[in-house]
A and B are shown apart, each in its own frame.
Chain A
Amino acid sequence: MSEPTPNGEPAPSDLTDAPGVSEEERAESAWLIARDKDPNALPPNARIANAYAEIETLLGSLPAPAEDDGWQTEVLDLAMRQRRRRRGIQRVAWVAATATVVVCILLLVSQPRSELIALTKEAPELDLALRPGKSRRAEGPTASVGDHLIVKALSDGRAELRVYHNEQTLLARCPAGPGCVSVTKQELAIDVELKAPGTYQIILILGLDDSVSTDQTSAYGAYVDAAMAAKARIVMHSPLKVL
């Protein structure tokens, strides 16, 4: 069975089914195959042997078209131009790939890390973490200007969480103050940006009553004194230094 053409068209008629394929032709074909292995294989007859000698001579020396002058030089010139073009393309591709890698690295460096950096837990009631700012990547638990301080504190329903800067400025207060992001019966949470160098104080008061000043302008020291006088429970974290 003949195979279909590469483009799917029906094959030409098969020689074996064509009229005129005789035993003589089969014998001739068989001799052609036999002599591939044994050049001395006997041909069907001398006429056929001579005919194939001529065929092989003619086919083996088929002439080519007249050669145009300089075709080899043209091929060489074209080959060199193609090579230079390919090398140029490869060079451009390499530069583009390198530039892409550099841009990706820069983008990664400039992107703020989404992960939080947990600070050492000093009290069970307080969890502190840093969220690195856009301008720099924080190295471990070291805080930098631009970082965000995230504080979560356990609440007894009468708690207040505060963050001070340099013991003077109240930056965040929870509940009901700047930087407060979450208030539940069990937890208070603050998120505040560390905008300036200095020392940041984190304090949690539990068992808050009216005798403790709720004035938002009171400085850190006065606030702590009031809490101590009211015998409220005070939970502090080591001051956070920001350079």
Chain B
Amino acid sequence: MQDDEVSPPTDVGVGIPVDEGRAVDAPRPSRSPIDKAVEEEAIACVRRGQHKEALTKLMVAYSKPLTAFALRILRDPDLAKDVRQQVFLEAFHGIEKFAGRASIWSWLCGIAHNRCIDELRRMKRTPVDFGVLEDLLELPDLSMDNQRSVARRRTLERCLAKLSSSERMQVLMRLLLRLSYAEIGELVHDSPGTVQVRISRILPRLRRCLGDPGDFG
């Protein structure tokens, strides 16, 4: 059983060379949540002094994936909502200084990551019952989805919970938040190549778990 404390990333492993160039060049996963139009409108609002309007646009566009991320890391809906609030408050106060060096989305993800780390360090927690977590989620209407899909989602939540906080964080930053390896590396203080190899070692465990829950080690 993996503990839920903040734990280090697993070693990248023997036999898989780390290719920094390949990792840096690797594009973001497809279907990125980044909404360039919203970000440009938000920056335009800030320049006009309309900070509330800018924040509203960002909250509408980005709150769901960020909250979903925080929920899987902290495994507590109230804490996830607290992190959501902190992310957008920091965005409100900091957006004037935001130099546009990266997308606003990447910036918000970085804030969410750091606030989750703060929460993990502050609390000593025991793992949350997976059932409780799922009951509080917006699961699709059963009339529109089939039983297997719902079962797969539940299994995935259980498999994610079996990863360490750090592993879960990096997998979700890649596949939920759609950050690049370079962006993830900056947040976890590791090279893009190391992050890439590390995630490539975590995903097979997740796949095996998802395929057959009894097999997961």
Contacts and interface: CB of A to CB of B under 8 A. Distances in A.
B210 A51 contact: yes
Interface string B38-72: 00000000000001100110011001110111011
A60 B30 CA distance: 10
Interface stretch (A26-34, A142-150, A153-161, A235-243): A26-34
A79 interface: yes
A58 B13 contact: no
Nearest to B12: A16
A11 B175 CA distance: 25
A58 B153 contact: yes
Contacts of A55: 156, 175, 203, 206-207, 210
A5 B64 CA distance: 30
A28 B207 CA distance: 10
Contacts of B80: 64-65
Contacts, number: 173
Contacts of A80: 52
A29 B200 CA distance: 5
Contact of B175 (A6, A21, A60): A60
Contacts of B6: 5-7
A16 B13 contact: yes
A115 interface: no
Contact of B92 (A16, A67, A79): A79
Interface of B: 2-3, 5-11, 13-16, 19, 22-23, 25-27, 29, 31, 51-52, 55-56, 59-60, 63-65, 67-69, 71-72, 77, 80-81, 84-85, 88-89, 92-93, 121, 136-140, 152-153, 156, 164, 171-172, 175-176, 178, 181, 196-197, 199-201, 203-207, 210-211, 217
5 contacts: A11-B7, A55-B207, A60-B176, A67-B63, A83-B92
Given A63-B68, A75-B88, 13 more contacts: A15-B10, A15-B201, A28-B207, A33-B200, A37-B25, A52-B207, A54-B152, A64-B63, A64-B71, A65-B71, A71-B85, A72-B60, A76-B56
Which 7 pairs of residues, A with B, have the shortest CB-CB distance? A36-B26, A59-B175, A29-B200, A16-B13, A79-B92, A65-B77, A64-B67
